[in-house]
Structure 1
Amino acid sequence: MSDARVLAEQQIWAAVTDRAKNQAVNCTNGDVFTWKSLWKVCCCEVFDVEFVPFDENEKFDWVGMMKKKGRVWDEIVEKHGLYKTNMEKIVRPEAFDAVLHFGFPHVCSMNKSREFGFFGYANTLKSIGLWVGRLRDMKIIP
């Protein structure tokens, strides 16, 4: 995960740091989490819904399920007085599906950035709550 604040901080750092010139570096929050732990935080703590355990090895058709939910989203927007959005413009189930089914453990290291002097960090599990709160404040999600 990459919190937008960390990404912006790293971009500024890279622009003004000689050691970072012409270097390719990763940008993540700098912590480690599992999708399973993230799912629990999103469901239980952020969206206040019951957590239902799932089998990580079972392939679920996110893309197919979400393609059928545009009208449901329109009803949610109307019910909660949200900013009128087209669900397809704010949701990318294809990207989520790809990330959940890499088929191998995906770990992204910030070591090179740290060796060059960038120490930006965000706690992913806490960051999710912050950004969901901002989306709620902007009336994009309920």
Structure 2
Amino acid sequence: MTDARVLAEQHIWAAVTDTAKNQAFNCSNGDVFTWKSLWKVLCEVFDVEFVDFDENESFDWAEMMKDKGKVWDEIVKKYGLFKTNMEDIACFDATNMVLHLKLQHVCSMNKSREFGFSGFADTFKSIRMWVGRLRDMKIIP
């Protein structure tokens, strides 16, 4: 995972650091992340029960969500949210792609650190903060 603030910080660092010139860098928060642990955090944030599941079981998010626009419209109305279409704030095809990778994705920050970048974020604190920001902006309940 990559917090937008860490990504922005790294871009600025790379732009003003002579030794970073013409180099390519990975960017991630720098901590260990699993999808299963994300679902647990989201359940805590949204105060819903976490139900254990088999991570190897296939699930088609795009198919399940394709006709849920009206449900989102009801949520927007019920909670007085900023009027959005579900498709404008979520991309379930992309979610499907990421969740169904057949390999463990690992992104190393070693090169960035070796070149002097030390930015990082705690992924789960970031998620809680960004959910809070989206709530404050009335994008999500």
Shorter-chain TM range is over 0.9
Partner AA of 1:97 in structure 2 = N
Q: Please name the residue that 2:54 is paired with.
A: 55
* 1:109 lines up with 2:108 in the alignment: yes
What's the TM-score once normalised by structure 1's chain length?
0.97
Q: Please name the residue that 1:40 is paired with.
A: 40
* 1:139 lines up with 2:138 in the alignment: yes
Q: Please name the residue that 1:3 is paired with.
A: 3
Root-mean-square deviation (Å): 0.7
In structure 2, distance between residues paired with 1:105 and 1:5: 25
Partner AA of 1:95 in structure 2 = A
* 1:66 lines up with 2:57 in the alignment: no
Q: Please name the residue that 2:121 is paired with.
A: 122
In structure 2, distance between residues paired with 1:51 and 1:126: 18
Higher mean C-alpha displacement, 129-138 vs 27-36? 27-36
In structure 2, distance between residues paired with 1:136 and 1:77: 12
What's the TM-score once normalised by structure 2's chain length?
0.98
Count of matched residue pairs: 141
Structure 1, gaps ≥5 residues long: none
In structure 1, distance between residues paired with 2:94 and 2:74: 24
Q: Please name the residue that 2:92 is paired with.
A: 93
In structure 2, distance between residues paired with 1:18 and 1:99: 34
Partner AA of 1:107 in structure 2 = V
In structure 2, distance between residues paired with 1:15 and 1:78: 44
In structure 1, distance between residues paired with 2:52 and 2:94: 22
Q: Which runs of 4+ in 1 moved over 3 A?
A: none
* Alpha-carbon offset, residue 109 of structure 1: 0.5
1:30-69 alpha-carbon deviations (Å, 9 max, x no partner): 11111111111111x2111000111111101100011111
* Alpha-carbon offset, residue 96 of structure 1: 1.3
